[in-house]
Structure 1
Amino acid sequence: MKIQRHGAVLGLVAASALLLGACGSDNNAGGTGGNTTSNAASVPVECGGKTKLNAEGSSAQKNAVDAFVQAYQAACPGVDLAYNPSGSGAGVKNFNAGQVDFGGSDSALKEGAETEAAAKRCQTNPAWNLPLVFGPVAVGYKVSGVDSLVLDAKTTAAIFSGTVKKWNDPAIKALNGSATLPDKDIAVIYRSDESGTTDNFQKYLKVAGGWTKGDGKQFKGGVGEGKEKSAGVAQAVGSIDGAITYVEWSFAQDNKLSIAKIDSGAGAVELTAESAGKAIDGAKIKGEGNNLVLDLDSIYGSKAAGSYPLLLATYEIVCSKGYDADTAKAVKAFLTVAATTGQAQLADAGYVPLPKAFQDKLLTAVKAIA
């Protein structure tokens, strides 16, 4: 998955820190809520240590990391970070092999061999999974005369498994009141290449919509036409009347696709920074202590009013301890900037800036790296 940078996803990037709520944990299932003010300006950055960091992994966060590097260099002149968007698998593998200072991944380290290898790389100390970048996934479509569409997870699952085949199917009509829906075949477009977007989309359908086709990075719906990469599926939908796909928010906007509202049981919700932030607000942490592994089911299965539940999260995988002193200092400085001032440009690239309470959890973990 790759999120493309473009000029005006929200229009007012400077307001991004005010758009979002707070994030809960297993011990606080309802989230903390209420406080939406960024604390970016109040967090000191201790520059120093290694002048050039190396990281590798998820292509989903590449544009976010580019923004973080710019903010890091502004805060700490003379430093740099080289990021190779080689994919989550390579990021984990090369972090565990000690070839990069931290890894980027669309999913947390798997218990067992991956976690054990990471601990060995970190001098017998645990590695932490720190979710730093969140990106919404749009259900994008193009249907002449249909500028507004509401779908729920069950109906979306039926569309992408071929059970619902027509745009005027009763299941779609039931969600869209008096809207005029055409007697037109639905053209499903899916990612033909392995994709974290596909994996998260299918997991969402499984949790919220009763999807029985399975998950994973290959699409398993058994219907439609495959296209490579996010650009490929978005461009295909933009050229086919009656088409639908799942794709990162920025690609849907860049290709002028209509975006379905999602009804999780409390009314239709439009994809916005606010609604995506509210989904993060309801997320739970299933990792222990500063290992901030998300319980994605708590996002995908949320029925909270005003919450848009279809999100991706990417993690930075770091050593809790075990770095040399110069590397530890630089990693902490970079991540501190990334979690604070580095968030200011994310909305312009189709990401969701961190809610303040989640930002606080992340900064606590970063400060504890030794």
Structure 2
Amino acid sequence: MRNWRAKSAAIVAVSALALTACGGGDGDNGDKGGDGKGTEGGSSLSGTVTGAGASFPATVFQDWIAAYQGDKSGVTVNYQSVGSGTGVEQFIGQSIDFGSSEEYLSDEALADAEAARGCPAVQFPVVFGSVAIAFNDPALDGLVLSPEVIASIYDREITNFNDPAIADLNPDFDLPDQDILPVHRSDSSGTTFVFSHYLTTEVPAWADTYGEGKEIEWSGDTIGGEGNEGVSQQISQNPGGVGYVNQSYALELGLPTAKVVNADGEAIAPTLEATTAASEEAEIPDTFQFTINGVGGEGYPIAGTNFILAYTCGYEDATADIIKDFWSWTLTEDADALALELGYAPLGADLKERVQAQIDLINSQG
């Protein structure tokens, strides 16, 4: 197991210093360099860029940053895992160089960003991942849950693991007489958006009562945790704990996870292969405003996308060059290998070409 907790703490600490020192959006100035294709040598780029947002991709971002900086001694990329909602707010508020979110920017949010900056923003996907339902009890690994059961657990209609609705899905399990303690994100979260969007599309009662979004009015008989890190901790520390986290966190911590029934009635575990299968069902428009819905076949149904947010103007040349070079590098095979190791699904070749065209627009208006 990697010491990702230590790495996360270190990156957040450095990011906080960077925000104080840089004063936000333009980063540190340096020698102009980089061609946006991920091929520049370490000596041709110099400076610091700062991003913030989703904790959903934080583990792979940490590895990407470490690998990228290893060949570029003059470059620092800082990323704060603060949640998608805060990341979007800081991006539109221009206190960071790039944002990160699992919910794409709506037309209204894009208009707000353009009004704040004086030029359009760009957004593009960089990786796909699954939202796993994780348990405190190892004996529950592989427990089958349907979207209706998951919704009922969070709505507190199902409060014990031996509930008949769970038993019907799991005839071979010796279910414990154990109260269920649902755990949710307490911050504004893209992971919450993916989770609640899934339930909204699958369970009409959930759509009517809770809906979808980065923040939800949860039932009072639940507990919250900040970030995927906080939710994972609450699950681990509380008997009967059940919560939704990015699959990479479940893998890193060895948390037992559920199989979830998809649109074809198949009970699917949140594996890399199942995440890839889900991502291949996504219909991706030119605007990159999309979600992954109605996953069937061998796909895991609670799957999401991480989007990067940047601007078409307003950066110092050195800052823009680093942003373009770094995100172009994340489209390489080396970056894909790191993502795969952590359970994330990289973009396909055709989608990478479309994303590269968006990266090339960063600072294109000067």
TM bracket, shorter-chain basis? 0.7 to 0.9
Match of 2:219 in 1: 222
Aligned pair in 2 of structure 1 residues 328, 232: CA closer, same or farther (>3 Å)?
Answer: closer
Aligned pair in 2 of structure 1 residues 97, 157: CA closer, same or farther (>3 Å)?
Answer: closer
CA distance in 2, matches of 1:250, 1:311: 12
CA distance in 2, matches of 1:106, 1:147: 26
For structure 1, the residue ranges without an aligned partner over 5 or more in a row are 8-42
Alignment of 1:1-370 (within 5 A): 5=4, 45-46=39-40, 51-60=46-55, 61-112=57-108, 114-120=109-115, 123-124=118-119, 126-143=120-137, 145-210=139-204, 211=206, 212-222=209-219, 224-229=221-226, 230-266=228-264, 267-286=266-285, 288=286, 291-293=287-289, 295-296=290-291, 299-302=292-295, 304-320=296-312, 323=315, 325-340=317-332, 341-369=334-362, 370=364
Identity of aligned residues (%): 29
C-alpha contact (below 8 Å) 2:141/2:258 kept by paired residues: no
Letter in 1 for 2:269: E
Deviations 1:260-316 (A, max 9, x none): 001114311111111111111111224x3xx422x21xx2422x2110122343221
SS at match of 2:179: coil
Letter in 2 for 1:273: L
CA distance in 1, matches of 2:237, 2:93: 44
Aligned pair in 2 of structure 1 residues 331, 189: CA closer, same or farther (>3 Å)?
Answer: closer
Letter in 1 for 2:46: T
CA distance in 2, matches of 1:151, 1:143: 15
Aligned pair in 2 of structure 1 residues 362, 117: CA closer, same or farther (>3 Å)?
Answer: same
Aligned pair in 2 of structure 1 residues 357, 324: CA closer, same or farther (>3 Å)?
Answer: same
Deviation at 1:334, TM superposition (A): 1.4
Letter in 2 for 1:250: S
> Higher mean Cα deviation, 80-89 or 206-215?
80-89
Aligned pair in 2 of structure 1 residues 233, 6: CA closer, same or farther (>3 Å)?
Answer: closer
Letter in 1 for 2:329: V
SS at match of 1:109: coil
SS at match of 2:301: coil
C-alpha contact (below 8 Å) 1:55/1:101 kept by paired residues: yes
> Higher mean Cα deviation, 181-190 or 277-286?
181-190
Deviation at 1:326, TM superposition (A): 4.3
Aligned pair in 2 of structure 1 residues 223, 99: CA closer, same or farther (>3 Å)?
Answer: closer
| Normalised TM-score (structure 1) | 0.74
CA distance in 1, matches of 2:68, 2:152: 45
For structure 2, the residue ranges without an aligned partner over 5 or more in a row are 7-36
C-alpha contact (below 8 Å) 2:83/2:188 kept by paired residues: no
Deviations 1:35-64 (A, max 9, x none): xxxxxxxx7624687622423221413443
C-alpha contact (below 8 Å) 1:58/1:314 kept by paired residues: no
Aligned pair in 2 of structure 1 residues 164, 117: CA closer, same or farther (>3 Å)?
Answer: closer
CA distance in 2, matches of 1:261, 1:221: 23
CA distance in 2, matches of 1:106, 1:276: 15
CA distance in 1, matches of 2:3, 2:118: 37
> Higher mean Cα deviation, 275-284 or 359-368?
359-368
In angstroms, what is the RMSD of aligned CA positions? 3.2
Name which structure has the greater RCO, CA cutoff 8 Å, separation 6+. Answer: 1
CA distance in 2, matches of 1:273, 1:135: 8
Aligned pair in 2 of structure 1 residues 5, 265: CA closer, same or farther (>3 Å)?
Answer: same
C-alpha contact (below 8 Å) 1:6/1:349 kept by paired residues: no
C-alpha contact (below 8 Å) 1:153/1:205 kept by paired residues: yes
SS at match of 2:288: coil
CA distance in 1, matches of 2:179, 2:80: 41
